[in-house]
């Protein structure tokens, strides 16, 4: 299929609508991004790529990186991971604190900030040099050795981390954080600060469309059962309190970040990464969701 033509007409369709939403401004560095940018890249499991718009402009992937940290932690500790974090959709915002006390410090799922903080704590326990080894993992799955953290974005987020600090303190109180709070926060801010463009982002998700193996070398990253489960978690939890709406409109597992990126997976076929910085009130890219709705409607692609 020639995806480029479909991208162009889906894009035309959404651009005729008024553009609304606003860039994330609670992380000062993210507020500086030009909100009008739009890019998309689709990469098939047979390694064909299709780009449109600002697909090679790097952006802050933010919470999309939670899928990478979950993948590595799940591979390292196996099913024990679910003693510390759940697999249920929360129906709450990404940084909500309301359920955490009620649930005795066990986050509903690993896509929430609280869940990703627990996963960060697990990785710090498991890895000798957590930031370095995690970056190596992301470089491996993306096939791109130049992927890096942005210390500028990590420290910008640290300055304004009041809610994330509250979340980690509640979990420490309930004995669900084993390492030093500052070390876990530092790891979490770095993982959120990773920058990628749409092309690299879609390639980084390909193992989830390919039963856990890299499509380039065949190397196993996780087994097929784990790949299925991570896709299931994305389907139910990847868009926080908009997860139902995303599933209803798009019908693919995916993950968003407050940098305006979205990565989605059609298992066995392709991954698609779209980026546009204006966010809705749930913290998800307005144009990204509009575009994916158009795209999946035009192609009739869905997991259902």
Ligand X SMILES: NC(=O)CC[C@H](N)C(=O)O
State the nearest-atom distance from the C-beta of 23 to ligand X, in Å. Answer: 12
Cβ atoms within 10 Å, residue 182: 11
> How big is the CA angle at 173 (ends 171 and 176), to the nearest 5 degrees?
45
Member of 63, 150, 176, 276 binding ligand X (CB under 6 A): 63
State the nearest-atom distance from the C-beta of 267 to ligand X, in Å. Answer: 24
Site membership for ligand X, residue 29 (CB under 6 A): no
Site membership for ligand X, residue 270 (CB under 6 A): no
| DSSP β-bridge partners for residue 266 | 270
Site membership for ligand X, residue 258 (CB under 6 A): yes
State the nearest-atom distance from the C-beta of 97 to ligand X, in Å. Answer: 12
To the question of whether residue 165 is assigned a binding role by annotation, the answer is: no
Cα separation, 137 vs 52, in Å, equals: 27
Site membership for ligand X, residue 238 (CB under 6 A): no
Copy the structure tokens of residue 239.
């868009």
To the question of whether residue 173 is assigned a binding role by annotation, the answer is: no
251 and 302 Cβ atoms separated by less than 8 Å: yes
To the question of whether residue 258 is assigned a binding role by annotation, the answer is: yes
Cβ atoms within 10 Å, residue 22: 13
Site membership for ligand X, residue 113 (CB under 6 A): yes
To the question of whether residue 149 is assigned a binding role by annotation, the answer is: no
Cα separation, 168 vs 184, in Å, equals: 9
Q: Closest CB to ligand X belongs to which residue?
A: 63
134 and 148 Cβ atoms separated by less than 8 Å: no
To the question of whether residue 164 is assigned a binding role by annotation, the answer is: yes
State the nearest-atom distance from the C-beta of 295 to ligand X, in Å. Answer: 22
Member of 44, 62, 90, 150 binding ligand X (CB under 6 A): 62
Nearer of residues 164 and 294 to ligand X, judged by Cβ: 164
Site membership for ligand X, residue 71 (CB under 6 A): no
Site membership for ligand X, residue 157 (CB under 6 A): yes
Cα separation, 175 vs 90, in Å, equals: 21
Site membership for ligand X, residue 283 (CB under 6 A): yes
State the nearest-atom distance from the C-beta of 111 to ligand X, in Å. Answer: 9
Site membership for ligand X, residue 285 (CB under 6 A): no
178 and 121 Cβ atoms separated by less than 8 Å: yes
| Rounded (10°) CA dihedral 110, 116, 122, 128 | 140
State the nearest-atom distance from the C-beta of 157 to ligand X, in Å. Answer: 5
Member of 44, 95, 271, 296 binding ligand X (CB under 6 A): 95
Cα separation, 191 vs 70, in Å, equals: 11
Who's near 144: CB < 8 A, 6+ residues apart? 196, 200, 203, 204
Chain centroid offset of residue 15 CA = 24
Site membership for ligand X, residue 94 (CB under 6 A): yes
Binding residues: 63, 113, 157, 164, 188, 240, 258
- Chain residues in the site for ligand X (CB under 6 A): 62-63, 94-95, 113, 157, 164, 192, 257-258, 283
């Amino acid at each position: 299929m020639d995806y480029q033509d479909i991208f162009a007409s889906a894009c035309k369709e959404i651009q005729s609508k008024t553009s609304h939403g606003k860039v994330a401004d609670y992380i000062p560095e993210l507020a500086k991004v030009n909100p009008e940018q739009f890019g998309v890249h689709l990469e098939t499991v047979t390694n064909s790529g299709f780009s449109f718009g600002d697909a090679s402009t790097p952006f802050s992937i933010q919470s999309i990186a939670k899928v990478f940290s979950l993948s590595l932690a799940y591979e390292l500790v196996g099913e024990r991971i679910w003693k510390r974090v759940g697999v249920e959709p929360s129906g709450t915002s990404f940084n909500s604190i309301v359920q955490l006390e009620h649930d005795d410090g066990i986050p509903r799922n690993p896509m929430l900030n609280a869940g990703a903080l627990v996963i960060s704590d697990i990785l710090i326990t498991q890895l000798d040099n957590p930031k370095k080894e995690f970056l190596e993992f992301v470089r491996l799955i993306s096939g791109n050795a130049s992927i890096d953290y942005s210390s500028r974005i990590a420290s910008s987020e640290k300055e304004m981390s009041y809610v994330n600090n509250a979340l980690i303190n509640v979990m420490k109180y309930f004995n669900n954080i084993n390492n030093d709070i500052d070390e876990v926060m530092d790891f979490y801010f770095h993982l959120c600060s990773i920058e990628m463009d749409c092309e690299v982002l879609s390639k980084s998700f390909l193992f989830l469309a390919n039963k856990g193996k890299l499509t380039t070398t065949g190397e196993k990253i996780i087994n097929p059962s784990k790949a299925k489960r991570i896709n299931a978690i994305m389907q139910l939890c990847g868009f926080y309190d908009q997860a139902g709406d995303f599933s209803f409109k798009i019908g693919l597992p995916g993950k968003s970040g407050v940098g305006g990126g979205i990565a989605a997976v059609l298992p066995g076929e392709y991954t698609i990464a779209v980026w546009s910085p204006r966010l809705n009130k749930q913290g998800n890219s307005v144009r990204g969701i509009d575009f994916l709705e158009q795209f999946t409607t035009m192609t009739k692609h869905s997991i259902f």
